[in-house]
Amino acid sequence: MDCSDNNHCSSCLYDILKKIVLLQKQDFDLDSFTGCDKPFLGPLITNNFYNTRPIQLYVCATGVPWSFNYTLADGTEGTSDILRVESLDDCCCTCRILYTNLENNQVLSTDQFVTIDLHSCGAIRCFSDTYVAL
């Protein structure tokens, strides 16, 4: 991953994250996109309700996913690299930390947020759309 140009925000990452934010807010057009920027949540346009496209953002210098500690209301602590993009401000992305319940393989949300400078990101990975109780 080449992170040598820190003078501007990666427009492709920003554009994809912006589409995800609009999509999660149900504020999108119906252009036919695929992958991270397809204009609907879920594997097919159905009556199923999805509200989140979980992502991983990768550290530009090392190529590993950004990972963050979290503490749940019951005191359970963990580390997760699964995020829900909530907002964008210039080259900063605010994300909610998500985690996976290993018992039922369900993605759950925390009430903890992180802000990531997109200058430090080299790649994005999108997971299957899902419903997350916010």
Per-residue confidence band for 6, with pLDDT thresholds at 50, 70 and 90: low
Report the percentage of the chain scoring pLDDT > 90: 49
pLDDT at 31 over 60: no
What per-residue confidence (pLDDT) applies to 1? 45
What per-residue confidence (pLDDT) applies to 22? 84
What per-residue confidence (pLDDT) applies to 35? 67
Q: Are 129 and 53 in contact (CB under 8 A)?
A: yes
Going from the C-alpha of 56 to that of each of 16, 95, 120, the distances in angstroms are 13, 10, 13
Rg of the chain over all Cα atoms, to the nearest angstrom: 15
97 DSSP β-pair partners: 83
What per-residue confidence (pLDDT) applies to 27? 52
Q: Hey, where are the domains in the chain?
A: 11-126
What per-residue confidence (pLDDT) applies to 73? 93
User: What are 124's two structure tokens?
Assistant: 């994005």
Q: How many angstroms separate the CA atoms of 115 and 89, rounded?
A: 10
pTM, two decimals, is: 0.80
Q: How many angstroms separate the CA atoms of 98 and 68, rounded?
A: 10
98 DSSP β-pair partners: 82, 109
Average pLDDT over residues 15-40: 72
Q: For all residues of the chain together, what is the average pLDDT?
A: 84
